[in-house]
Structure formats: structure tokens, C-alpha cells
Amino acid sequence: MEGFCIAANLFGAKGEASSAAGQMGGIPVLILKEGTRRSRGKDAQSMNITAAKAVADAVRTTLGPKGMDKMLVDSMGDVVITGDGATILKEMDIEHPAAKMMVEVAKTQDEEVGDGTTTAVILAGELLSKAEELFDMGVHPTVIVKGYRLAEDRSKEILESLAKSVSPEQEDILLNIASTAIKGKEDRLPKAKLAQIAVNAIKAVADISDGRKADIKEIKIEKIEGGGIEDSELVRGVVLDKERASINMPKKIDDALILLLNKAIEIKKTETKSKIDIATPEQMMSFLNQEEKLLEGMVHQIEKSGANVVFCQKGIADIASDYLAKSNILAVKNVSEKDMEKLSRAADAKILAELETVSDSDIGKACIVEEKKIVDKKFIFVRDCSNPKSVSVLLHGGTKHVVESMEITLNDALRVVSAVIEDGKYVAGGGSPEIEVSLWLREYAASLTGREQLAVYKFPEAIDIIAKTLAENAGLDSLDILIELRSQHEKGNRDAGIDVYTGNVVNMADMGIIEPLRVKLQAINSATEAASMILRIDDVIAAGKEKLPGTPPG
């Protein structure tokens, strides 16, 4: 690590490790740079655990549909108001290394499944809190980590046994999963509509012919500040932040035949400098006519292909644009490589580098390609492709904050629907699976021997924090709720969870409160991994801050 200098194996006469300022023949041996701060043993562990727990406490009140929001103000005075755990931790300016590890937990959870970020962070914080209790009992960190690993493995087995199967055709279940993931978002957002858009978008791009794959990268999101939020829509095709190459081209093409070109429709400039001597006006006209003929030839090849819409990754000369307009062809220039690939997937068209050998199979199809002005911006819509493997979502909102909130909400819904289509498994929500895992883990712990048993016993105590927090955030008595939950689960109601709106313990699956199995598995995995890493640290060496050079005189 830059900033300090450590002698890795410095031992005294009896083989004991030297400290930061060891002794050698009565002379101090400095092995760390001046200004370096070092914490060891219990001090280091306590400091790291305290920092990690502080992060967990920061997001704990946001858990669940009744969770609170946080207002974050950056150094420039910009304000973000959100209840999304991943967004909160991303926006927070965190310095402590152990606290940063907790932020990584949220980041991993969000990237992998798009939901359960707050759950993972809260659980990691509670596992560390229970580890402190084990420290006081004299249990070594290595033993705690081993016990937590055993409990993690058993928890995953229990969750797998609780999971129910779902197929992409069961749209009602997919809608419930999407709705559950975004239930706690801002009330003003059209959550029912966003859930439906997410399900339709994922089903469009999902490939279930060879295994299950639903890549959300094939879903393009365009945000527009203007219009009502209810105007948001799914486009079975691609929306481009572009306009026609010429205003003389048609604005709308029905039954579009689409040609994708990775070739400029203009005269290529030579790499080397060249000089042409033109002595007469006739020679000048001949030169210009030759250039025009070349461009006319390119347009003729496009006409010959049968295409009436052209998307070009490179430039289109003005003369070529005029010829295309006369031929009633709509063309768009300077389309990004990423958008070209999406067009290819949506319209089933090939991206061509040459015009000489265009075949019918190279041409894509869409019902409509049109240019539309929305608010004060022009967009190109490629609509109603027959079997699009890339689609677009157009989000409308009155302000930047609204459209950004909608994007975060939609992304969460897309990820959970993608996860459940790929895995085909879901579990009940509302704290239900955590209580079931907690009960089974207690039985498992009783079957173990050795000190690891103590750590396994603490794991279900930590998992109870999820149901407890859901109850607290809804203004309910968490102790009464936990007692009722355990009673219901012991009677065999494995899907019993908390209805935070009524305060009752009900069957979550019957209520449609369900979540992808992957969310729960990843949350337990991320939380255990983070807690284990922090518990295994017994020495923190922080380099002193570099002094900035002084201002030169004068």
C-alpha cells in the first residue's frame, strides 16, 4: 500500500513480532512511516464493526413499503431524496474502509438482482453486532466466521426448499414480483404501470429456447422531461435520440424495410494529401459531377435493395440525403454502435459494411419508423417489430427528479423479473422466508458440537432483524409481531409474513407479496461475506495524509 514502509518479518530475540517501534539491541526500530495510524486486536475489530453498523443503521429505517426516505445534500448543494438503499449508499460520502465494504455489499446486491440491498446491509450489520456478543464470550473470530459459513450454507438449503416454481407464461406471478420490488417507492410514481412495462419488456427480450436468459441490457431507457408520467410507454423496437438526415425526407414510413450500414454514404477523404490541377470551369464541373455520380450510385444500390429506411453508423453527404429524399427513403446518420446493435436485434437486420451484396435476409422489418417531436426534442421511433429481441422504454416526467426516480424504480423491477425468469423460482416476502430460516437454523445449531455452534445460534438471531425492522418501520410492536410469526410458522404456515398496511400476520403468497429466490440467496451470501471479511481483520494500518506543498512566496 502506497504511503507506508513495513518490514514484514521483524522479530526480537525470542521470535516475537516487533511493534510499530520495535527494539533491537535497545535501539528503536521504526517500521512505519511517520504519521501512520495503527489499530490492533480488539481495538481494530471494534472500530471496524462500529463503522459497519453505522452504515446499516443509516439505511435500516428505509426497509419495506412503510420505510422512510433520506435527504442527501452534496457539497454543491444538490439534493437527492430517496428511500432506495443502493442509491443512498452510492450518494453518501463514506471514508472508513470497513464502511466502504458495506457499500460494496449493497453495490453487489444491486448489480446481481436489483433488490434486497437494504436487507443485505442490515443483515451484515446485525451479524457483526452478534459477533461482538460472541467476542465477549471469548469466541475467536475464526470460529465465528466458520459458524457463520455453516449457517449460511444451511440457510440457502432451507430457502431452496421454500421456493416455488414459475414459468415466463405466468404473467400474474411476474407482475406480483415486479410490484413487490417497487412497492416502497415514491407514491406519486405509476408503480402498476411500471411493473407491467417491466414484465412486458423482459418477456420480449427473454430467450428461453436454450436455457433461460433475460438480458436487461437489451432494454433501452429514454428519459424525457415533459409530459405526464402516465405517458410512459414500452416501444417494441428502438427509440433513438436522433432526427432525419434531411427535412425533405418522409417523416413516417409504414411497413418499413430497414437497412443498417456501417459505411459512410459520402466520398471518403484520402489519408494522404493530394493535389488536383483544374484549369477550366469545365474540368471543375466534370470533377463535381463525378462525385455526384458516385453518391447517386450508392443511393441507387440502396433503392435496389428494397429498403425504405436507412440507419447509418457514419455520415451521409448532403447530396446523398437529397437523392434519398427524392426516392422517399428515410435516413438517419451517425447512429452509435450500441444503438445499431439494438436496431439489429429489434428489427432482425444485419449490419452491413458494403452495399454491393445486399440480400433480402439482410433487411430488417418494422411496422412503423417515424420521427416525432416530444416537448422540444426530436426522436426516431422504430415501432412494432414482429419479434424484437431489443426494446425501448420511454419515461415521461415533469422534472428531472421524477424521471430519474422512475428510472431507478423501473430498473429494480426489470432486474427482479429478469432474475425470476432466469431461475424460475420465487419465495414469499414480508419477512416470511427469514422467519422460516430462523426456526430451522435453531434446530440445526442444536445438532452441532464445538464452539461453532454458538455462532450458528447467533445467525438466526441476526436474521430476525429483517422481520423486526419491517414491523418497526410500519409502527408496529416488533416483539408481538415476531411472537405471532413464529407461532404461525411452527403451525406449518410457511408463507406467513407481515402485512405492514393492516399490522396483521397473513399468508404472503396469497397476498401476492413474493420475491425472486435469487434476491434472498444473494442477500444472505453478500451479508455473510462482508461480515466474515470484517471479522477477520485484526490490524488496521492507515497511512498519514500527504502534506500539500506550501504556497511559494510572492
pLDDT in tens, 88-140: 888 888 888 888 888 888 888 888 787 889 999 999 999 999 999 999 999 99
What is the bridge-based pairing of β-strands 425-428 and 164-165?
Answer: antiparallel
Share of the chain above pLDDT 90, in %: 55
CA atoms of 310 and 69, how far apart (whole Å): 47
Helix H or strand E encompassing 303: helix 281-305
CA atoms of 60 and 528, how far apart (whole Å): 17
Q: What is the pLDDT of residue 28?
A: 62
**Residue 7 pLDDT class (50, 70, 90 cuts):** very low
**538 catalytic per annotation:** no
Q: Which residues of the chain are in CATH 3.50.7.10 domains?
A: 240-386
Residue 548 scores a pLDDT above 60: no
Residues whose CB is less than 8 angstroms from the CB of residue 385 and which lie 6 or more positions away in sequence, other chains included:
236, 237, 346, 347, 348, 364, 365, 366, 367
**142 catalytic per annotation:** no
Lowest mean pLDDT among 32-41, 92-101, 155-164, 358-367: 32-41
CA 443 to chain centre: 36
Q: Is 309 helix (H, G, I), strand (E, B) or coil?
A: strand
Helix H or strand E encompassing 331: strand 330-332
CA atoms of 212 and 310, how far apart (whole Å): 33
**Residue 547 pLDDT class (50, 70, 90 cuts):** low
CA atoms of 33 and 542, how far apart (whole Å): 10
Mean per-residue pLDDT over the chain, rounded = 85
CA-wise closest residue to 407 among 236, 237, 229, 238 = 229
Q: What is the pLDDT of residue 8?
A: 34
**Residue 340 pLDDT class (50, 70, 90 cuts):** very high
CA atoms of 490 and 522, how far apart (whole Å): 26
CA atoms of 446 and 457, how far apart (whole Å): 8
**Residue 420 pLDDT class (50, 70, 90 cuts):** very high
Mean pLDDT along residues 433-438: 96
**Residue 158 pLDDT class (50, 70, 90 cuts):** very high
Query: Could you give the count of Cα atoms lying within 13 Å of 48 in the half-sphere of its Cβ?
Result: 30
Which residue among the candidates 62, 82, 87, 118 is catalytic per the annotation?
A: 118
Query: Could you give the count of Cα atoms lying within 13 Å of 52 in the half-sphere of its Cβ?
Result: 35
Q: Which residues of the chain are in CATH 1.10.560.10 domains?
A: 41-165+427-540
Which residue among the candidates 110, 412, 464, 495 is catalytic per the annotation?
A: 412
Residue 254 scores a pLDDT above 70: yes
CA-wise closest residue to 481 among 428, 426, 427, 434 = 434
Which residue among the candidates 87, 117, 409, 469 is catalytic per the annotation?
A: 117
**117 catalytic per annotation:** yes
Say if domain 41-165+427-540 classifies as CATH 3.30.70.100: no
Q: What is the pLDDT of residue 22?
A: 52
Q: What is the pLDDT of residue 16?
A: 38
Mean pLDDT along residues 266-273: 63
**Residue 271 pLDDT class (50, 70, 90 cuts):** low
Say if domain 240-386 classifies as CATH 3.50.7.10: yes
* 298 close to 274: Cβ distance less than 8 angstroms: no
Q: What is the pLDDT of residue 504?
A: 94
CA 69 to chain centre: 20
Which residue among the candidates 84, 348, 464, 495 is catalytic per the annotation?
A: 84
* 508 close to 494: Cβ distance less than 8 angstroms: no
Higher local confidence (pLDDT), 16 or 213: 213
Q: Could you tell me the CA-to-CA distances from 160 to 116, 440, 446 in Å, in that order?
A: 17, 13, 21
**270 catalytic per annotation:** no
